[in-house]
């Protein structure tokens, strides 16, 4: 379900050096067409559907669209940010609207602890996730076919 920029709503972030969607995309997908001053997703097949660009866009120009074979066209989910929450508007295909408000995290920028205090192996070849096995409360990760934790 890649992101899609509605060109009617995008104002190119008013010609800032880097647009908000370019700043936030973890996969560096958003591009600004400087002639038209409209942003677009340059490779939808690489989109992680993380919703970062959708949430940060100041003009609510970005939506994440489901593929038509399993999400009916015409539906949308639009966030509106405030200082302490996001108001999500869910529009169903039949026109029904539902809204819900969700509080945002208050952690100051840059203060998040990526490992949550758990021990990490730092071994990128391991099949274990970043903080396993400690965050599972186990001495090691057991797998089918053997108890190897694939830390080699
Ligand atoms: S953040 Fe929104 S308004 Fe700014 S360039 Fe991206 S799509 Fe356009
Ligand atoms: S949904 Fe996430 S990965 Fe996809 S374009 Fe937006 S910020 Fe990038």
Q: Does a structural domain hold residue 149? A: yes
Statement to judge: residues 92 and 122 lie in one domain: no
Q: What is the pLDDT of residues 110-121, one digit of tens each?
A: 788 889 899 997
Statement to judge: residues 99 and 117 lie in one domain: no
Q: Which has more confidence, 13 or 143?
A: 13
Catalytic annotation present for 48: yes
Which amino acid residue places its CA nearest to atom 3 of ligand 1? 10
pTM of structure:
0.71
Q: Does a structural domain hold residue 45? A: yes
Does the pLDDT at position 37 exceed 80?
Answer: yes
Statement to judge: residues 23 and 89 lie in one domain: yes
Terminal C-alpha separation, the chain: 35
Q: Does a structural domain hold residue 134? A: yes
Q: What is the pLDDT of residues 48-98, one digit of tens each?
A: 889 999 999 999 999 887 776 666 677 888 888 888 899 999 888 888 999
Per-residue pLDDT at 53: 95
Q: Does a structural domain hold residue 94? A: yes
- Round to whole Å and give the CA distance between 145 and 66: 37
Q: Is 41 in the pocket of ligand 2 (CB under 6 A)?
A: yes
- Round to whole Å and give the CA distance between 141 and 71: 36
Does the pLDDT at position 149 exceed 50?
Answer: no
User: Measuring CA to CA, which residue among 100, 89, 32 is closest to residue 60?
Assistant: 89
Residue 47 CA: nearest ligand 2 atom is 4
Pairing of strands 76-81, 85-91: antiparallel
Which amino acid residue places its CA nearest to atom 6 of ligand 1? 21
Statement to judge: residues 51 and 24 lie in one domain: yes
Q: What is the pLDDT of residues 11-30, one digit of tens each?
A: 999 877 889 999 999 999 99
Ligand nearest the Cα atom of residue 11 = 1
Does the pLDDT at position 105 exceed 90?
Answer: no
Judged by DSSP in three states, 116 sits in coil
Per-residue pLDDT at 147: 54
Statement to judge: residues 99 and 121 lie in one domain: no
Boundaries of domain holding 27: 3-103
Contact criterion met (CB below 8 Å) for 15 and 23: no
Q: How many domains does the chain have?
A: 2
Per-residue pLDDT at 150: 45
User: Measuring CA to CA, which residue among 60, 63, 7 is closest to residue 33?
Assistant: 7
The CATH number for 77's domain is 3.30.70.20
Statement to judge: residues 138 and 91 lie in one domain: no
């Amino acid at each position: 379900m890649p992101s899609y920029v509605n060109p009617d709503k995008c104002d190119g972030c008013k010609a800032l050096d880097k647009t908000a969607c370019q700043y936030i995309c973890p996969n560096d997908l958003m591009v600004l067409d400087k002639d038209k001053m409209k942003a677009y997703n340059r490779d939808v097949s690489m989109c992680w559907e993380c919703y970062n660009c959708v949430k940060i866009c100041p003009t609510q120009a970005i939506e994440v669209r489901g593929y038509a074979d399993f999400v009916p066209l015409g539906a949308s989910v639009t966030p509106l940010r405030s200082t302490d929450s996001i108001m999500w508007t869910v529009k169903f295909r039949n026109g029904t609207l539902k809204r819900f408000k969700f509080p945002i995290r208050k952690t100051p920028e840059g203060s998040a602890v990526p490992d949550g205090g758990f021990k990490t192996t730092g071994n990128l070849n391991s099949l274990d996730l970043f903080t396993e096995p400690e965050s599972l409360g186990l001495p090691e990760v057991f797998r089918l076919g053997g108890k190897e934790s694939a830390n080699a």
